[in-house]
Amino acid sequence: MTKVLLKGNEAIAEAAIQAGCKMFFGYPITPSTEIVEYLSKHLPKAGGTVLQGEDEVASIYMCYGAAATGTRVMTATSSPGFSLKQEGMSYLAAAELPVVVVNVNRAGPGLGGLGPAQSDYFQCTKGGGHGDYRVIVLAPSKSQELYDFTMQAFDLADRYRNPVLILADGFLGQMMEPVEIKKRVAVSLPPQDWIVDGCRGREKRKIVSYALSNEVGEASCARWQAKYEKIEEQEQRWEEFYTEDAEYLIVGFGTCGRIGKSVVLNARKQGIKLGLIRPITLWPFPKKAFAPYKDIIKGIVTVELNAGQMIEDVKLAVECKMPVHLYSRQGGMMPGENEILSFMAQVFELSVAEEAIADGKNI
């Protein structure tokens, strides 16, 4: 077992190489830039190509071209850059091209700030580009998951012929942690009988996203929706922590899921039966995770680095059967575990010792 100390962004880049990614097209933007830097240095040695596009738009369409040839391809960016890629995301979904896209979320809107944020949740999970489409969204919470999920993303993209998004944040991208460098595991994937690579010895193929008639357009939409339903059924992923006997739940993804574990442990010391659900797939949202608890949980707090975006999916998942509150930090700020516990004590009228919430009083 090889463990190396890597920055989160470097873990993503190394995982891409190990997963057989041969093409990377990108444009530098903080806090995701180490991905293009690491790959510029290491991907050519692994027989791949890194090309710095003239902009984010070019980069996503270079991915479109590479994916059309059946080549494993990735791009990486941060929030403003991801906005520029939205037209391409829609076209990738419509043309059903397997591309791995990384968004290392920074604070927005506008130019925003370089600090960590989860403010692109809506954009990542609900579309962002035009039309009815979905992309699989994976939310890692530590460097090892940045590595593992990136590797899995390539297989998911190929399995479903769909773009797959890694949604990290500036904290995860910049943090250094030991990462176990795993080799690619062989999995059975559908044949690439759709790629365009020159029609030698076969019928010509074409990759398009237009519909000449409304009837064809509706049939295409139905085909896409059927695929999305299949993904929703098969790919919901989440982590549970102290949920077996929980009366209250914290729900947080990525960095917030990680902080939430400390909150759970602190609450348990105070005799509060708190558990955690950490969504790993943000789309499909892990509704199945909530099903066993929606009639027994007294209250939920979602912890998010945005103004309250995932909370909508949580409320739908529990059918609003109990109070669901938001604890939010924005603009690049991170919550401390005590301030979250203090908030929970306040909204659910729970009794906790003064020292457990000492630095979290002024919320």
Shortest distance, CB of residue 38 to another protein, whole angstroms? Answer: 19
Q: Residue 77 interacts with another protein (CB under 8 A)?
A: no
Backbone angles phi, psi at 199, to 5 degrees: -90, 30
Residues 160-199 that bind another protein (CB under 8 A): 196-199
| Among 5-13, 50-58, 150-158, 259-267, the segment contacting another protein (CB under 8 A) | 50-58
DSSP string, 23-47: EEEE---TTTHHHHHHHHHHTGGGT
Instruction: Say how many residues make up the chain.
Output: 363
Beta carbon nearer to another protein, 2 or 213: 213
Q: Name, in order, each residue with C-beta under 8 angstroms of 28's C-beta and a sequence gap of 6 or more.
A: 36, 37, 52
Shortest distance, CB of residue 132 to another protein, whole angstroms? Answer: 17
Q: Residue 47 interacts with another protein (CB under 8 A)?
A: no
Shortest distance, CB of residue 94 to another protein, whole angstroms? Answer: 10
Beta carbon nearer to another protein, 194 or 348: 194
**Pick from 236, 234, 263: nearest CA to 248:** 263
Strands 281-283 and 136-138: antiparallel
| Among 63-71, 172-180, 275-283, 296-304, the segment contacting another protein (CB under 8 A) | 63-71
Q: Residue 82 interacts with another protein (CB under 8 A)?
A: no
Shortest distance, CB of residue 242 to another protein, whole angstroms? Answer: 46
Instruction: Output b/e per residue, 133-165; b: 16+ Cβ within 10 A.
Output: bbbbbbbbbbbbbbbbbbbbbbbbbbbbbbbbb
Q: Residue 127 interacts with another protein (CB under 8 A)?
A: no
Q: Report how far residue 157's alpha carbon sits from residue 16's, in angstroms, rounded to the nearest whole number.
A: 13
Residue ranges binding another protein (CB under 8 A): 22-23, 25, 49, 51, 53-55, 57-59, 61-69, 71, 73, 87-88, 91, 95, 196-201, 204-210, 212
